Structure 1
């Protein structure tokens, strides 16, 4: 599975360490790219900022599983502006958070979803 996260470049220095850690953790589950512009038109598009649809970790795990079962191997998560024609929308929190924090939260939720789908313990 190929996952792109389309977001602004992280502004805080420590975010690069967080990003590196989650890229390492996710490498066994997917190919992850964090970019400023989508490079796949065929990707399943998910907008992460809809203020009306909160989902649980289990909901996200099921959604990712369903996307894969439907034959989609490319997923693009958008955290900034909403692109045209999204396939799914959800929000991570009701709080106003920076793009950096949103990226961190999204990486953690994607990682948690893969752990759930593989029946693996999340906490070490």
Structure 2
């Protein structure tokens, strides 16, 4: 199984990068992992009404980097919530259905364009709370790791 994470922008915070590196390393036992970063679009000062333009430009970059034949899951605050066991079950069901490539998509600070949202096979909300898109990358990796541990029937906490 290949898990792709297509995300806008780079992570600058060292503590987040360390967490991402740790969960990326742990996931190697369960899947191939690709983290694909696309450039963020600078938000113009006095950007009233320009949010759609920014999301559109970032969206084009995102869509260009999604691997072919990939099941697309966008992370969006308006998406459907899921438990950790639900995510594990969903990944396992996708495998049974023949999907060997799942792509999770994380937008920039303004979110995702309508085009990206419409291209998704599933819209997922990780929480009703708001997190930075940098934090979401770490939280998502931890949840994917937890899902594979659940699928394998392995304990998570030692």
| Range of TM-score over shorter length | over 0.9
Paired positions, count: 124
1:26 aligns with 2:53: no
- Cross-structure match for 2:5: 5
Structure 2 unaligned blocks of 5 or more:
38-61
- Cross-structure match for 2:134: 100
Alignment partner for residue 69 of structure 1, among 80, 86, 96? 96
TM-score scaled to structure 1, two decimals?
A: 0.93
Deviation, 1:13, is: 2.0
Give the stretch that moved more between structures: 33-42 or 59-68. 33-42
TM-score scaled to structure 2, two decimals?
A: 0.74
Whole-angstrom distance in 1 between the partners of 2:70 and 2:79: 23
Contact 2:2 2:102 in 1 (8 A): yes
Q: 1:37-92, CA deviations, whole angstroms, 9 ceiling, x for partnerless residues? A: 42412110001114241100011000000111111111100011252421111111
Q: 1:13-52, CA deviations, whole angstroms, 9 ceiling, x for partnerless residues? A: 2222111101110000001111124241211000111424
Contact 2:76 2:125 in 1 (8 A): yes
- Structure with the higher helix share, 1 or 2: 2
CA RMSD of aligned residues (A): 1.4
- Cross-structure match for 1:113: 147
Whole-angstrom distance in 1 between the partners of 2:137 and 2:30: 18
Contact 2:6 2:66 in 1 (8 A): no
Whole-angstrom distance in 1 between the partners of 2:66 and 2:81: 27
1:90 aligns with 2:124: yes
Contact 2:77 2:128 in 1 (8 A): no
- Which structure has the bigger radius of gyration? 2
Contact 2:3 2:31 in 1 (8 A): yes
Deviation, 1:7, is: 1.0
Structure 1 unaligned blocks of 5 or more:
none
